[in-house]
Structure 1
Amino acid sequence: MDDLIVGTPLWILAIVLFVALMAAMEAGRWLRRRLARNPDGEAAEHDYIFNGVLGLLALLIAFTFGLALDRYDARRELVVDEANAIGTAEMRVRLLDSQDGPRLAGLLRTYADTRLRYGEASAAAKPPLRAASQALRARIESETITALRPIATTPLAAMITPAVNEALDIGVTREATHASRIPTMVLGVLAVYALISAGVLGSALDAAGRRGRGMSTLLFLLLTLAITVILDLDRPQEGAIRISQQPLRDLVAGFVSTPRPSVETPQPSPATPALPAAGGSSRP
């Protein structure tokens, strides 16, 4: 069910929902005609029931919208946190001497580019980039331990270790938050309740002797729009509402404009020419 909701384009879901609401209204109208025993005085009763059902539907939509918005805000904040953490870690590992600093800095720059591509990718393209991120995290962790082991008790190691660890941990947290979506049960209850509300509306309109086609269509359009926005918020990089990757994009652009750290190899010093002996002459 989750794959069906995530994999189906939003515009198709919106059309299906709108048509289902219109059909539910007509079904409610037809059912009321079949089951009504004493139609006199039913209009006020139906209006009362419809107002209560519509109020509960509004509360359910507000609750679901709050869930989607909280997840959207959390994903957006994690993009900023990850960009800051990777930038801090890259700056600190460059303080290492010899070959370790440039090598770790290069790995972190590659990791930042991978995380940017992960954030910009669609849901179908994320699994390979998630696997690449996991491989890079394992390599960075191994390389950091190897580089810091000889200086494990120094202040420099105490400064580098938490920075690298935070950069890697935020990546894991971001992936978990991205996979966390509104429970399917909540969306299912919302859809079923919306259809029931449409049926109650059809019954209430029929009891009052009104068609109400125009106003009911407008109501269902607004209801479809609200539910579509909820689904859009739950899709970080698809649809109209997307999470900006600008912090990571700026970080990668800054890395590109800065010369990439290179591992320096010691160059042999030129041979010193022999000096003539004191008091000697260079002439034969």
Structure 2
Amino acid sequence: MPFMSMILQVDAWKLGLIFFVLMLAAGWAGTRVRAIAVKKQQNENTRIADASIALFALLLAFSFSGAAERYENRKEYLLDEAIAIGDFAATTSMLENPERDQIRQELVGYVKERLAFGKVRIEAPEMQALTARSRERQEHIQSILHRVFAEKKSSTLHTPLMNGFNGMTMTHDKALYGSRNQISDTIIVLLITFGLISAFMTGRFGGSSDESSLTSSIVRRQRQWHRFEVVI
């Protein structure tokens, strides 16, 4: 199973909790390594922690920006599809029976399936069957329209009907594309990796500067006290 498929099947709050625990564990591991380094008097100061945190923040900002943009696009696609279905339904209401009732019946079923589309995960097995049923509804509506055009019924509505039907099918495809357009697996892996590295580096080098400052202060005070004793 692809990595992104496994990610999409887990709730967001569970992912956040797991990532938080992993970062705590990485930070704790960093503090343990720092404690060992202190015992060996390896209190070197470094900018690795700052660089890793900055890189993690940059990657996190780009990831949230991309996710927010995709989310807004999906909302726009769904709104466009709802408007297209409404326009097509309004146009078909001016047809004569029995085609008007037939298309209305197909549209009712089509709308129910499109509403169910938002409740099913994109990687779920039901999604493929749901999409296939929507395509089948579109084909039924197209066959009814073909009969209307062939029999030259309501000839003044032929162009609006075709435009409305094309708009409905096009927005359907755009909504499906928007749901499948997720952040790539590579970005997710990099985000998790740099998050753990940043937590580890923070634990490893977070107290180095403070410890160095404290050591320098103690040494300076000892020298001052030594000079004071010499003067006395």
Shorter-chain TM-score: which interval? 0.7 to 0.9
Query: After superposition, where does 1:46-125 map in structure 2 within 5 Å?
Result: 46=46, 48-123=47-122, 124=124, 125=126
CA contact (8 A) 1:67 1:182 kept: yes
Higher percent of residues as helix:
2
In the alignment, the residues of structure 2 paired with residue 73 and residue 38 of structure 1 have an alpha-carbon distance, to the nearest angstrom, of 53
Using the alignment, how far apart are the partners of 1:152 and 1:99 within structure 2? 11
Is contact 2:95-2:154 (8 Å) kept? no
1:173 matched to which residue of 2? 174
Whose relative contact order is higher, 1 or 2, with alpha carbons under 8 Å and at least 6 apart?
A: 2
Pick which of 117-126 and 192-201 moved more. 117-126
1:13-32 Cα offsets, whole Å, 9 max, x none, are 22221121112112223334
Give the unaligned 5+ runs of structure 2: 212-232
Structure 1: stretches of 5+ with no match in the other structure: 211-284
Aligned residues: 206
| Shift in Å, 1:184 | 1.0
Question: Hey, what does 1:277 align to over in structure 2?
Answer: none
2:42 matches 1:39: yes
Contact 1:39–1:207 (Cα < 8 Å) also in 2? no
Alpha-carbon distance, 1:147 to partner: 1.8
Q: Given residue 170 of structure 1, which amino acid in structure 2 is its aligned partner?
A: T
Report the equivalent of 1:149: 150
Q: How high is the TM-score relative to the length of structure 2?
A: 0.78
Which residue identity does 1:83 align to in structure 2?
Answer: A
1:120 aligned counterpart, secondary structure: coil
Provide the rounded CA distance (Å) in 2 between the counterparts of 1:51 and 1:152. Answer: 73
Amino acid of the residue matched to residue 39 of structure 1?
Q
CA contact (8 A) 1:91 1:105 kept: no
Any idea what the Cα deviations from partners look like across 1:101-121, whole Å, max 9, x if unmatched?
221222122211221122234
* 1:151 alignment partner, SS class: coil
Once residues 30 and 193 of structure 2 are traced to their aligned partners in structure 1, the CA distance between those partners, rounded to angstroms, is: 14
For normalisation by structure 1, the TM-score amounts to: 0.65
AA of the residue aligned to 2:58: L
Match of 2:9 among 2, 7, 10: 7
Task: Give the match for residue 228 of structure 2.
Answer: none
1-structure distance, mates of 2:83, 2:71: 19
Task: Quote the offset at 1:151 in angstroms.
Answer: 3.0
Deviates more, 1:102-111 or 1:79-88: 102-111
CA distance in structure 1 between the partners assigned to 2:26 and 2:103 by the alignment? 61
Q: State whether residues 149 and 155 of structure 2, in contact with CA within 8 Å, keep that contact through their aligned partners in structure 1.
A: no
Q: Deviations over 1:230-249 (max 9, x none)?
A: xxxxxxxxxxxxxxxxxxxx
